[in-house]
Amino acid sequence: MAVRAAQDAKQEAAAKIHDGVEQIKSPNVLHRLKTILYAQSPVHRQYIEKGTRFNATLENALAFGETTRTQAELASLGSVPEPDSLLQARFVARVSSADATRGAP
């Protein structure tokens, strides 16, 4: 029984060491370090993390204009977007964590 407990403790310690090494070797180490430092700072700017996704309900329909599409372009509709595709959007209303409440429109 004691041997089994010692083996389990040894495996757990090895797993913790492995996880620590993975965090150091993984990509974006500098970005994570900056994020931790900003979080510790008493005053820091607000920003949106890379890869953040938003779901929004629009009050009015968006007008994108009109365009003509070829048959090949129409065939690709409904397929998965290209990797690393970008969407550019602009908030019309001011958004702040100081006065925002969960569930507010």
35: number of Cβ within 10 Å? 14
Structural domain of 32 = 1-40
Q: What pLDDT band is residue 105 in, cutting at 50, 70 and 90?
A: low
Q: Is residue 4 assigned to a domain? A: yes
Q: What is the pLDDT of residues 1-28, one digit of tens each?
A: 778 888 888 888 888 887 777 766 677 7
Number of domains in the chain: 1
**Widest pairwise Cα distance in the chain:** 75
- d(CA 24, CA 29) in angstroms, rounded, equals 6
Residue 98 has which token pair? 């100081």
**What's the whole-model pTM score?**
0.27
Q: Is residue 87 assigned to a domain? A: no
